[in-house]
Amino acid sequence: MKFTIYGSGCAKCKQLTANAEDAAKAKGLEYDIEKVTDTNAIIDAGIMRTPALAIDGEIVTEGKVIPADEIQQLLT
């Protein structure tokens, strides 16, 4: 499983990263995290608001920090 976090590296981006890690650990999943901070790469991915989270290349949320339990639901 691969999580991609899109954002500038702000506190919200860090919280979203932590929530994704917590969700994967709670499910017992192996995962990789990629952080994309380059503005052009974020725009090229079609992200209009950060922070954003993609799971295995599919953007699942943007513009907000979702809690770990919501991320867990997306992993099923």
Residues with a known catalytic role: 10, 13
Closest residue by Cα to residue 76 from 1, 19, 6:
1
Would you give the distance in Å from CA 28 to the centre of its chain?
17
Angle of CA points 64, 13, 11, to nearest 5°: 105
